[in-house]
Amino acid sequence: MPTVLEKNNCKEKLKVHPIVKWAGGKRQIISVIKENLPTQFNRYFEPFIGGGAVFFEIQPENAYISDTNEELINLYLVVKNNPEELITDLHKHKNSKEYFLKIRNADRDDNYKEWSNIQKASRFIYLNRTCFNGLYRVNSKGQFNVPFGNYSNPKIVDEKNILNCSEILQSTEIRCANFTEILEHIKKGDFVYFDPPYLPLNKSSNFTSYTKEGFDIGMQFRLKAVCDELDKKGVKFLLSNSDTEVINGLYASYNIKKVFASRNINSNSNGRGKITEVLIRNY
């Protein structure tokens, strides 16, 4: 009987890449992650979807993806349901600092609430492609606050990729939800890939501001508790995190593999380069 991954490898995969650049994205270690995936599972879950590098690489036929970032989830819903309209709206954007600041600061205005979901998704992609280093960061009010990147020719409109991603998302349930909510939907034999905001190695590497609530040490311990519950349910999980004493101690009862990864999104250039992180699994 063919496994899930064998079935996926047999069918012709669509050529796609993540729609947005995301801090901690997994494209550069995707081969290592694939080597550590279970060969067989029922439904695929990814509750910290971010840029979705692993999801778009695997292209599961039956999946559940979620995140607490409302703008990000709106983007995936629009790509799934309104890709053509999104592409049309993306063509209106301009690569200039004056225009960038106007679009970036739109969420400071009450009129932003009246924007359509398509317009908000278009803004999200535009800012991601033209802001400094592709970093997504918000302030305590949930307002995007990354400066202009000043790139000469950013690819704001990637029509083919959006259409292919839309096709992959057709069989995917998309929710704006906390990671704990997967416990309401998951069943024995399913598989979860966790890629949470990492426990910081130091203050300069703390990039948890994907939502105004952030992701603190308490949330790391809650995530461990969810992993324990999944293990008891007979659900397989794979988790990525930073190679720190706290994380290694927290998951000491599970299988821990150290991998090298490059980190290019960091406000401090000294925090970029090759570092080790961990892959943790219960199988």
Q: Annotated binding site for S-adenosyl-L-methionine: which residue ranges?
A: 22, 26, 67, 195
Residue ranges of the binding site: 22, 26, 67, 195
Tell me the sheet residues that pair with 44. 63, 191
100: its two tokens:
């960038």
> Residue written as tokens 């910290």?
48
Buried b / exposed e across 188-222, counting CB within 10 Å, b at 16+? eebbbbbbbbbbebeeebbbbbbbeeebeeebbee
